Amino acid sequence: MESPLIKNGGIGSSALGATELHHAPPEVLAAGVGGDYPRVHNFEDVKNICYLESVKLWAIAGPIAFNILCNYGINSFTNIFVGHLGNVELSAVAISLSVLANFSFGFLLGMGSALETLCGQAFGAGHLEMLGIYMQRSWIILSSACFFILPLYVYATPILKLLGQRDDIAKLAGKFSIQVIPQMFSLAINFPTQKFLQAQSKVGILAWIGFVFLFLHIGMLYLFISVFGWGLAGAAAAYDISAWGVALAQVGYIFVWCKDDGWRGLSWLAFKELWPFVKLSVASAVMICLEIWYFMSIIVLTGHLEDPVIAVGSLSICMNINGWEGMLFIGINAAISVRVSNELGSRHPRAAKYSVFVTVAESLLIGIFCSVAIMTSRNHFAIIFTDSKEMQKAVAHLAYLLAITMVLNSVQPVISGVAVGGGWQALVAYINLFCYYIVGLPLGFLLGYKTSLGEEGIWIGMICGTFLQTLILLFITWKTNWNEEVAQASDRLRQWTGLDEESHTT
């Protein structure tokens, strides 16, 4: 019996039959030319939807994930080169990048993520003229936010001492933080341009830019640290140059090659409706920051334990490895956000719903694979970061917690991406606040300081918070009425564009 998905056309085109569907070129499948998905009636429909959605998802997620992995590699290779200078240097840079830099990264990424909702839904509805204006508004808002974050970098040493970090670690971390201030300002340009390109699925260029500057960054680290002997100053210089290179390359591509795809030049309209844009940006920032800062806080809490150099160093290595997987899922997060926002803007509720189901299932499989890989190599992977046998042994002892975290982190970012695509940022911010800071962190504090578990206890408590948050978000997603989400997306477009949305759809 012919599948209703094929008979009714599915997402590819009403003209595609079963044989033609499986032999259609990827660009046709990824374009989503037809209407919404029909209802699923049998297993054949499920297979076809999984195939179509996988093609669409990875056409977006693959380049985005590769770009983010390359950008994260800039952080990771900085840690790797510095780690061979000594344990104190490794702990200091880990504190600076994992705590202070992650603070600004989380806040600015969150504010920039408002564009995932607005640009994605505007693109889906055909309002291309608004994409460049949204991006310019985001540049203004994020650049202003950087000045509010600046004191955190300038006064990093006393802040870290106040948080209980050892004096020598706090002093080195504070010096390094001042040296990487230029990198923070680069994010105000980087994130809005990323979201502008992602909303239109122009993600191949992001992958190439990320790869080129990761390669250049490794070369600069070797030159500045190993050849010139500049130490931490050399690591900071390479970090700043690479970050601004990525940001300016993305801007240059938009200025030259996106003139007919959302970029209409600089416009005074970017200064209009700034306050409503700020409110949505802050809601996005709070949602994402509560997630990023949650795992940042584990480094701070660990710094209060009896042997902070080994505790912070071993945990930072685990967080670094977890970050590699996390960057992959941030790429998937961005892709599902684009998929959901595009489909809601195009009035395709069932396509939005099915894209979520397929993405969650595939992400969980990837998380399980990464978990198994960590447990298999638990006695060896720390060698990449340190020559210290004591540090390697401490990392191997924490490997089982890293494996559990990787499974949880495979699902949680996907659901957060759905929230951004649907515009649920405020709701998810409240959920994150409860699960992370009322349940997870206090539990981690109790297990870490009131038992003999130490850093293990802190991590176990935080895993419990993540598990609770994931369960709640999965339940909310399962119960979502996607027809209502389409209606809300239409209302949001009318509010932000000031245009009759019907006149822009065909």
% residues pLDDT > 70 (the chain): 88
Greatest Cα pair distance, the chain, in angstroms, is 73
Alpha-carbon span 253 to 270, nearest angstrom? 20
Instruction: Say whether pLDDT at 268 is over 50.
Output: yes
> Stretch 63-89: mean pLDDT, rounded?
85
> Stretch 299-315: mean pLDDT, rounded?
72
* Pair of tokens at residue 22: 């499986």
User: How many structural domains comprise the chain?
Assistant: 2
- Between 231 and 31, whose confidence is greater? 231
Alpha-carbon span 247 to 463, nearest angstrom? 34
285 and 206 within one domain: no
Query: Which range among 7-16, 50-59, 97-106, 141-150 shows the weakest confidence by mean pLDDT?
Result: 7-16
* Pair of tokens at residue 439: 């349940």
- Residue 200 within any structural domain of the chain: yes
Planar angle of CA 67, 318, 450, nearest 5 degrees: 140
Instruction: Say whether pLDDT at 339 is over 80.
Output: yes
> Stretch 67-77: mean pLDDT, rounded?
83
* Pair of tokens at residue 10: 């599915």
- Between 422 and 75, whose confidence is greater? 75
> Stretch 135-151: mean pLDDT, rounded?
93
pLDDT of 493: 67
pLDDT digits (tens, 9 = 90+) for 392-439: 888 888 889 899 989 988 888 788 788 777 777 778 888 888 998 899
- Residue 255 within any structural domain of the chain: yes
Looking at every residue in the chain, the average pLDDT score rounds to 81
| Full residue range of the structural domain in which residue 388 is found | 273-486
Alpha-carbon span 62 to 313, nearest angstrom? 31
Q: In the structure, what pLDDT confidence band is assigned to residue 351 with cuts at 50, 70 and 90?
A: confident
pLDDT of 492: 67
Residue 372 identity: V
> Stretch 143-150: mean pLDDT, rounded?
94
Q: How many residues does the chain have?
A: 506
217 and 144 within one domain: yes
347 and 213 within one domain: no
- Residue 11 within any structural domain of the chain: no
> Stretch 247-251: mean pLDDT, rounded?
95
Instruction: Say whether pLDDT at 355 is over 70.
Output: yes
pLDDT of 34: 52
Instruction: Say whether pLDDT at 389 is over 80.
Output: yes
Contact 101, 152 (CB under 8 A): no
Highest mean pLDDT among 21-30, 308-317, 443-452: 443-452
Q: In the structure, what pLDDT confidence band is assigned to residue 292 with cuts at 50, 70 and 90?
A: confident
pLDDT of 306: 65
> Stretch 222-226: mean pLDDT, rounded?
93
pLDDT of 165: 81
Task: Look at residues 216, 237, 272 and tell me which one is the last residue of a structural domain.
Answer: 272
Query: Which range among 195-204, 233-242, 365-374 shows the weakest confidence by mean pLDDT?
Result: 195-204
Residue 447 identity: L
pLDDT of 464: 93
233 and 182 within one domain: yes
* Pair of tokens at residue 56: 């669409």
pLDDT of 367: 93
The pTM of the full predicted model, rounded to 2 decimals, is 0.73
Other CB atoms within 10 Å distance of the CB of residue 451: 11
Contact 455, 319 (CB under 8 A): no
- Residue 13 within any structural domain of the chain: no
209 and 112 within one domain: yes
- Residue 336 within any structural domain of the chain: yes
369 and 277 within one domain: yes
317 and 247 within one domain: no
pLDDT of 305: 66
Query: Which range among 87-101, 265-279, 293-307, 332-346 shows the weakest confidence by mean pLDDT?
Result: 293-307
Contact 324, 13 (CB under 8 A): no
191 and 278 within one domain: no
Alpha-carbon distances of 22 from 18, 149, 342, 501, rounded to whole Å? 7, 51, 24, 34
Query: Which range among 208-217, 365-374, 396-405, 408-417 shows the weakest confidence by mean pLDDT?
Result: 408-417
Residues in contact with 65: Cβ distance below 8 Å, sequence separation at least 6, in sequence order: 327, 328, 329, 330, 331, 332, 335
Alpha-carbon distances of 325 from 17, 242, 330, 404, rounded to whole Å? 38, 22, 9, 12
- Between 423 and 456, whose confidence is greater? 456
Query: Which of these, 421, 432, 425, lies nearest to 351 by C-alpha position?
Result: 421
Task: Look at residues 272, 302, 335 and tell me which one is the last residue of a structural domain.
Answer: 272
- Residue 506 within any structural domain of the chain: no
The string of DSSP codes covering 261-279 is TT-----GGGGTTHHHHHH
pLDDT of 32: 41
Instruction: Say whether pLDDT at 11 is over 50.
Output: no
Highest mean pLDDT among 84-93, 99-108, 246-255, 300-309: 246-255
pLDDT of 122: 78
Alpha-carbon span 104 to 116, nearest angstrom? 19
> Stretch 1-23: mean pLDDT, rounded?
35
> Stretch 337-366: mean pLDDT, rounded?
87
Residues in contact with 234: Cβ distance below 8 Å, sequence separation at least 6, in sequence order: 221, 223, 224, 225, 228
pLDDT of 178: 95
Query: Which of these, 70, 6, 11, lies nearest to 44 by C-alpha position?
Result: 6
State the residue for tokens 């709070």: 286
- Residue 4 within any structural domain of the chain: no
* Pair of tokens at residue 484: 């209502």
244 and 101 within one domain: yes
pLDDT digits (tens, 9 = 90+) for 83-124: 888 888 888 888 888 778 878 888 898 888 778 777 877 787
Task: Look at residues 257, 272, 287 and tell me which one is the last residue of a structural domain.
Answer: 272
294 and 267 within one domain: no
pLDDT digits (tens, 9 = 90+) for 467-493: 998 899 888 888 888 888 788 777 766
pLDDT of 456: 83
Q: In the structure, what pLDDT confidence band is assigned to residue 25 with cuts at 50, 70 and 90?
A: very low
209 and 102 within one domain: yes
Instruction: Say whether pLDDT at 319 is over 70.
Output: yes
302 and 266 within one domain: no
- Residue 16 within any structural domain of the chain: no
